[in-house]
Structure 1
Amino acid sequence: MTVLHLSLAPHRGRAATAATRPRSRPRRPRRGFGRAAAVVTAALLTTGLPAAPAGADTPPPTPTSASPSGAPAGAPGTPSATIGPVDYAVAVDESGSLKPEDLERERAAAVRIALGEVHHASTVGIFGFASADQPGQHPVDEVCPPTALDAAGRDRIGVCVAGLHSRTPAEGQGTDFPSAVLQGISRLTSGTDPAVPRVLFVLTDGKLDVKDSPAYGDPGHRAAAGEEALTAALAAAKAAGIQVWPLGFGAEPDQAALDRMAAGGFQEGCVGLPGAKPRASVVKDSGQVGAALEAAFAAAHCLRSEGVQTGRPPADLPVRISPLATVGSIVVDKGDPAVTATYFDPSGRPITGAGSDPDSTFEFSGRDKAIESLRITDPMPGQWRVHLDAPEGHRSQLASVSVLWRGALNSSISLTPPSPRAGEKATVTVKLQTRKGLAITDQQDLKDLAVTSVLEGEGFPAVRVDLADDGAAPDAKAGDATFTGAVTVPAGATGRITASSTLTASGLAADQNRPFSSVVSPAVPLVTAAFSLDGDHRVHPGDTLKGTLNLRNDDTAPHILHPAVTDVAPGLLTLSPDSITLAPKESRSVGITLTAGDAKAFGRLLGHDGVTVGGKVSVVDTSDRDRVVADSPLSVTVTPPPSFLDEWWWALLLLGILVVVAVLALLVVLRARKTGTSPAGLELVLLDGRGRELGKLTADGGSGGWYGFEVSGVGGPHPRLVRRPGGTYRVQRSQDGGAVLEVRRRTRHRLGAGTPVELADGLSLTLGASRRPGPGTPPPASGSRPGRTERTTPLNDLL
């Protein structure tokens, strides 16, 4: 049977919640210190999440049944990373070999642990240690009993950690590592669940010093006795399933001693990756503390780290959250409580307070302290931004921002051919996807992934299959989250076969166990099928894609085939028809329709550029022991629905062209109308009472379509027409070829050749030989000459 699971380190830790642990008041600090140096715990904080143990001494999960196609016929649901609590203890060196500023940084580590932890039921106990050199002294000083790290618990840690202090000679200033380790074992194993991971952090300079401690015998043998006791204590930690992660502080930390402690504790706490084994880190200055602890905490708890960004306020620090993440913490070491941090998700929306939206849940801690955190469940993937600001006088401290997260992914396994013959070479393919069933495209998300496979079946022993994503045959492309390997089906295979795979990855939990199961084919298969998808495999939500199934039945009996989309999250893609009957000896092609879910099914997954949905189209012969006759990889790109502009741009362009044409036509008409009524070229003739011509005036274009004039010298011997805009009279050409005369903008008269209009004092006006001047015709000049007598029309014969 095929099993895809995440191999996590067997943490034989204990899980005590707040309800199962006695709580005591935090001790009043005996020494005051400045700000809790904000750096040490960035990485420690973010998540005690390992899943149930799966180490060397823990058998792999028992495979579960699956559909013959290698996955449930329906799509897998959104998997959740098996995130649980973690119990850890922090031992802080208070000996005289450390300077006060080194202890200050150690204290900051404890604060960051509390603020960065992502599981509210995780616990932490914090104690200082030095040595007991005189009666009444004690090597261990517990300042924070095991405390559940809910919001209130994290705040309590921030208060009680102030009890850590530098020991005086009167209190014992040696360094008793054996007592510190044993104290951690006691707190991590008392009445706790062995399935919960256990981690002990030792913050020290690594210098064992029990020369003044009577508990270790004669002064001449105390050093050797101390080494012996430390070896025994580390062995006890290993037996109890406790990882030991030393962090070195001070001017000259003992690297060899720190390495020894890391190697002496439990080594199988996470997956079997070299980077996940406990190791010692030396912190030379406060600027290195955050990065060192982040790496340590990520490895100790199977988390992923996105690195540390630093800057001085005001500043914008970017942090990336992977689409694989299901829970994580953004930890901000501000260096100064006066610094404020504002968080923006990848869409630019500010996260202003605790609570939830339709997709994510948020929880803030320590907002008024030097170190704060934002814990996010189901975070929006992408580039987050933390804006730091501070008033004048509070901008000198270097701030840092880090992210630790835990995630989950889907997987899809297939065998090609899906029903191979005994002795035939086949290809096993495992495709990894995000928890939403989408393609993994960022190489950063693929780092440290390892996939192996096993082929099992009737008639032969299990065969290991090596898989790779390196682009070398049979793998088609490197770095595409598809792991491929070749295997020859043993000659003894007689019936069912199952291909299984195992994913090993730090910080990632696999989805449900989903093996690929089929049946060995006879020498000549009776039923064959091949699937192909038309077009460019791009679709909008709610739209469809067409495909074809080419089917052949060489049997003498009918066969019922069941095609389905598998390894796709629910609602994203569906296939029809879901049942096809092939008659004996029938060969035909069947049209297949793939339908993408609506926009609501994809939600914010679509983004701006769309998403690629992976999976398979599997065809199972239900008439032949659910033999898989086709198992084709499927990759469909779903893009956001087109906007109105995207969909109708051509119509808008056509409409724009029509509008332009209509406007041009209107302008032509208006111009033609204006030209038709323009007074330019009208010849106005002034007549006396006997109809004799007294003078002429040829109109130009005038103003506003009218030509204004006046009769000068009325009542005198030589009246004449004079151009005068705004005069008593004005004329305009009419559409019938004549003209309209308007008197003082009140009365209008028809004016034509041979039909004079009376003006005043026996004078009248008529039209002469009018013309329409062409372009470039100069304005006509006025003149007067005697003319013939015309009949006049009374002025009150109005038009």
Structure 2
Amino acid sequence: MATVRGVRRKAAGRTVRGAAAVLAAVAVLAAPTAPAGPDQIPAAAVKPAFASVNYAVAVDQSASLAPEDMEAEKAAAKRIAVGGVSSSSHITVFGFAAAESEKQRAVDPVCPRTALDAAGRRTVGGCIGKLRSRKEGEGTGTDFPSAIRQGVHELSNGTDPSVPRVLFLLTDGRMDVTGSPQYGDPAHREAEGRQQLAKELANAAASNVQIWPLGFGPDPDAGQLAEIAAGGYQKGCVDLPSAKPAASRVKGAEDVGPKLEKIFAAAHCLRYEEGPPGERPPTTQEIGISPLATIGSIVVDKGDAEVDITYIDPHGNKVPANGRYRGSAFELAGAEDTVEALRIVDPVPGTWKVKAEAPEGHRSAPVSVSVLWQGELRGAITMDPPSPQAGQKATVTMRLQTREGYEIKNPRDYAGLRVTSSLTGDGFAPVPLGLRDDGKAPDAEASDGAFTGTVRIPSGAEGALKVTGTLTASGLNADTRSEAGQVAPAAPAVTTALTLPREEVHPGASVTGSLAVSNTSDTPHTLRLSVADVKAGLLTVSPAEIVVKPGESGTREVTVRVAAAEIFGDRLSADGLRLGGTVTVADTTEGDRALVRSPLSVRVTPEPGVWDTWWWAFLTGAALLAAASVAVVLLLRQRSRRRDPAGLVLRLVSGSGEVLGEHRAGRGHKQWYAFAVVEPHRNPRIERRANGPYAVRRSPEGGAVLRKRDGGRTRLTGHSQVPLADDLALTIGVPSPNPPGGTPSGGPGTTPGAPGTGGGGTYDAYL
């Protein structure tokens, strides 16, 4: 037995630190917000948004748990304790192992039943810290029956039976009562333990206690854990498979916290969103909050109590730890501990940033972030036509909306949703409807949050009709909507058809459609137009009334106007919002008989800025500027080429007109080719000199310009000469095949007229 327990101790030791991180996440969601600071409205006035839960946490203290295992279980216990949704919830925490002598007990109470209000959250972390692993000789087995018996007692004794009861069982996953005398003779203890376990599970089921086991270690008994989950009360917070108790297993210590948060979320009908992989501080991590969330908790496992956390909303605002700010209420719990959580009522949807900073020496543990939330999912149901005839087919659509009446963009927000619908009325039995969002007819588009189906009105229908739809999803309040109608006569006097485009508009803009009307009666009918299933003021329709004259048949213009930008506030981001409403046309002359109930979807985007409006003008101007710049560069390059002296043929001429030599100019400095006349009396010739007394360059008008050291400049053409010193002159022209003297621009030893020297050029060489 000691060997088996030793193996279990080693393997279980790798699971720990996360386990305690989850017990700490209920209290923040569970409590009212703390006192507000100056300029803030106290958030304590905010009523809890959801019903309370009574729950107990049983923590395995058997010898199979190493010290790090116990630390993980305690962190998990704290994580649970800061994640509830009502200040009237209660928590009880106790440890368990086994009683292996008369002086020992199987259960160690550490936290009596504690209300998770502000005061309770301040004390629950301290009592959770009393949990410890048992040593040899203290009763080191694993007594599941005693743990379940204690949990059922704590949850059912003196509590309101209408409040959900949940027991979390944190264990290495294998019952061991072989050392417990209370289970009889050693040879029969294992069998007796199984019988006692079955008895306690039946008692849990009868007492409406759910049991959610979490097993860890190298070899938990998966079958026994599944038996425990299935043996307790099975009805969850909603009638969905995800809310039914189930056993779970973790692979290692790093998985304990996230896994237990998922279990906790399922048991309490919360939504759970895991953040990115943990990082050591300083770090900033991002986590999303759904637009459906009405209350949520950002849970931060800091790993070190000295880590300081700052919370930044999707609009870049640093939010307070306690109080109200821009329509949301905040309350922080656990800031002084290794796990903290910020509870938010009516959180701003979008991507939140969690900034973690820590002093030197406290940056070794990774910081991880997650979100637990609960929300409201609303629906809007329509039947087309709203007053069908008996035997006619009608199309029923149920559209999903946020609590503010906006359409839902991300299908993940309503994952696991179940939609049920039925048609009832006079003269027939209820008819079930199948509504789908799969993009197959009659559904227009898959995963757009609009569930559609068809129903044929029974031939015996007469009088009133009503179509009803119910939305059910874990973590979201169930919503039931109905649409009343009536069986239309065989040939109604007034018929209408509304056409409204699906458009993208800016605040204050409008969508224009047409209403086809026909009145075959001999009396006028007044039609009333309105917009329903959307927050008041976001959409308005005009005209409000239309009078259809006897015998009239034609179309009328209908305009739906979107509210001004200030009505949307911070909710209108760059991505825009989708407004989903229902335009109704009712015939007031016939007792408000509905003629049209047409779904309307409008995407509202912010008013474009200067760039968005005049981008074409900016681009055109930029293109013109670029073209002008290119033209200037080309002009300057052309001008530079036209002044480049390279290739000019310089001829040195005597006073009698004899050509004494030719020299081909190369590229100059700043477009000037400087030179000097050497040996003017013996062997006069032109040579390049960086600081020579003469310089030449091409003239844009043709020919060249000679610059002398004294500053004078003279224009040279193919037939003119410019006097130089010592009775010599300079001219330009076509190089001779065999000049009497001088050197080409290639330098001494270069033959005039050789390839690359400019010999054999034409007058074009200097133009």
| CA spacing shift, 1:481–1:151, aligned 2, 3 Å | same
1:587 and 2:542 matched: no
Amino acid of the structure 1 residue aligned with 2:18: V
1:624 and 2:590 matched: yes
After superposition, the C-alpha distances for 1:44-73 in whole angstroms (9 at most, x for unaligned) are 66559999xxxxxxxxxxxxxxxxxxxxxx
Aligned with 1:302 (options 250, 269, 283): 269
After superposition, the C-alpha distances for 1:117-146 in whole angstroms (9 at most, x for unaligned) are 343322211011122333343222111011
Amino acid of the structure 1 residue aligned with 2:19: V
8 Å Cα contact 1:46/1:405 also seen in 2: no
Cα offset for 1:469?
A: 0.7
| CA spacing shift, 1:277–1:480, aligned 2, 3 Å | same
1:40 maps to what in 2? 19
2:93 maps to what in 1? 126
5 Å-filtered alignment, 1:259-408, equals 259-314=226-281, 315-408=283-376
CA–CA separation in structure 2 for the residues paired with 1:277 and 1:208: 23
8 Å Cα contact 2:21/2:78 also seen in 1: no
| CA spacing shift, 1:520–1:47, aligned 2, 3 Å | farther
1:515 and 2:482 matched: yes
* Counterpart secondary structure, 2:347: coil
8 Å Cα contact 2:424/2:466 also seen in 1: yes
| CA spacing shift, 1:368–1:541, aligned 2, 3 Å | same
2:743 maps to what in 1? none
| CA spacing shift, 1:165–1:571, aligned 2, 3 Å | same
Cα offset for 1:312?
A: 2.9
1:258 and 2:237 matched: no
1:640 maps to what in 2? 606
Amino acid of the structure 1 residue aligned with 2:72: R
Higher mean displacement: 144-153 or 473-482: 144-153
8 Å Cα contact 1:244/1:265 also seen in 2: yes
1:614 and 2:580 matched: yes
5 Å-filtered alignment, 1:121-520, equals 121-314=88-281, 315-511=283-479, 513-520=480-487
8 Å Cα contact 2:98/2:140 also seen in 1: yes
* Counterpart secondary structure, 2:551: coil
Cα offset for 1:42?
A: 5.4
5 Å-filtered alignment, 1:641-680, equals 641-643=607-609
8 Å Cα contact 1:38/1:112 also seen in 2: no
Please report the TM-score for the alignment, with normalisation by the length of structure 2. Answer: 0.73
| CA spacing shift, 1:250–1:609, aligned 2, 3 Å | closer
Aligned with 2:570 (options 579, 592, 604): 604
CA–CA separation in structure 2 for the residues paired with 1:630 and 1:286: 59
8 Å Cα contact 2:273/2:370 also seen in 1: yes
Cα offset for 1:578?
A: 2.3
User: When the two structures are aligned, how many residues end up with a matched partner?
Assistant: 605
CA–CA separation in structure 2 for the residues paired with 1:626 and 1:257: 62
Structure 2 alignment gaps of length 5 or more: 1-12, 31-46, 624-699, 706-711, 715-767
| CA spacing shift, 1:155–1:49, aligned 2, 3 Å | closer
1:573 maps to what in 2? 539
Higher mean displacement: 554-563 or 318-327: 554-563
8 Å Cα contact 1:427/1:487 also seen in 2: yes
Cα offset for 1:654?
A: 12
Amino acid of the structure 2 residue aligned with 1:341: I
8 Å Cα contact 1:36/1:107 also seen in 2: no
5 Å-filtered alignment, 1:725-740, equals none
Cα offset for 1:488?
A: 1.3
After superposition, the C-alpha distances for 1:489-516 in whole angstroms (9 at most, x for unaligned) are 11111111111111121111145x4311
1:539 maps to what in 2? 505
* Counterpart secondary structure, 2:155: helix
8 Å Cα contact 1:611/1:639 also seen in 2: yes
CA–CA separation in structure 1 for the residues paired with 2:622 and 2:134: 84
Amino acid of the structure 1 residue aligned with 2:357: D
Amino acid of the structure 1 residue aligned with 2:533: D
1:89 and 2:68 matched: no
Cα offset for 1:110?
A: 1.0
CA–CA separation in structure 2 for the residues paired with 1:42 and 1:466: 43
| CA spacing shift, 1:630–1:448, aligned 2, 3 Å | same
| CA spacing shift, 1:404–1:428, aligned 2, 3 Å | same
1:553 maps to what in 2? 519
Cα offset for 1:617?
A: 0.6
Aligned with 1:102 (options 44, 69, 73): 69
1:790 maps to what in 2? none
| CA spacing shift, 1:248–1:406, aligned 2, 3 Å | same
Structure 1 alignment gaps of length 5 or more: 1-33, 52-79, 658-773, 782-799
| CA spacing shift, 1:254–1:652, aligned 2, 3 Å | closer
8 Å Cα contact 2:26/2:81 also seen in 1: no
Cα offset for 1:342?
A: 2.6
Relative contact order, higher structure (CA 8 A, sep 6+) = 1
Cα offset for 1:399?
A: 2.9
* Counterpart secondary structure, 2:431: strand
Amino acid of the structure 2 residue aligned with 1:328: G
Cα offset for 1:340?
A: 2.8
* Counterpart secondary structure, 2:129: helix
1:563 maps to what in 2? 529
CA–CA separation in structure 1 for the residues paired with 2:494 and 2:233: 54
* Counterpart secondary structure, 1:309: coil
| CA spacing shift, 1:102–1:122, aligned 2, 3 Å | same
8 Å Cα contact 2:21/2:75 also seen in 1: no
Cα offset for 1:529?
A: 1.1
8 Å Cα contact 2:389/2:487 also seen in 1: yes
Cα offset for 1:148?
A: 1.8
| CA spacing shift, 1:282–1:440, aligned 2, 3 Å | same
After superposition, the C-alpha distances for 1:764-790 in whole angstroms (9 at most, x for unaligned) are xxxxxxxxxx99999999xxxxxxxxx
| CA spacing shift, 1:477–1:46, aligned 2, 3 Å | farther
8 Å Cα contact 1:82/1:509 also seen in 2: no
CA–CA separation in structure 2 for the residues paired with 1:326 and 1:655: 49
* Counterpart secondary structure, 1:428: strand
Cα offset for 1:334?
A: 1.6
Aligned with 2:82 (options 83, 91, 115): 115
| CA spacing shift, 1:118–1:271, aligned 2, 3 Å | closer
| CA spacing shift, 1:411–1:546, aligned 2, 3 Å | same
Cα offset for 1:382?
A: 1.5
CA–CA separation in structure 2 for the residues paired with 1:197 and 1:156: 23
After superposition, the C-alpha distances for 1:92-133 in whole angstroms (9 at most, x for unaligned) are 112233333322221221111112334332221101112233
CA–CA separation in structure 2 for the residues paired with 1:569 and 1:239: 45
Please report the TM-score for the alignment, with normalisation by the length of structure 1. Answer: 0.70
2:636 maps to what in 1? none
CA–CA separation in structure 2 for the residues paired with 1:519 and 1:47: 49
8 Å Cα contact 1:415/1:429 also seen in 2: yes
2:664 maps to what in 1? none
CA–CA separation in structure 2 for the residues paired with 1:652 and 1:388: 42
| CA spacing shift, 1:155–1:190, aligned 2, 3 Å | same
CA–CA separation in structure 1 for the residues paired with 2:431 and 2:15: 56
* Counterpart secondary structure, 1:186: helix
8 Å Cα contact 1:49/1:301 also seen in 2: no
After superposition, the C-alpha distances for 1:286-341 in whole angstroms (9 at most, x for unaligned) are 11112211211111111111124322313332211111111111111122223333
1:717 maps to what in 2? none
8 Å Cα contact 1:454/1:501 also seen in 2: yes
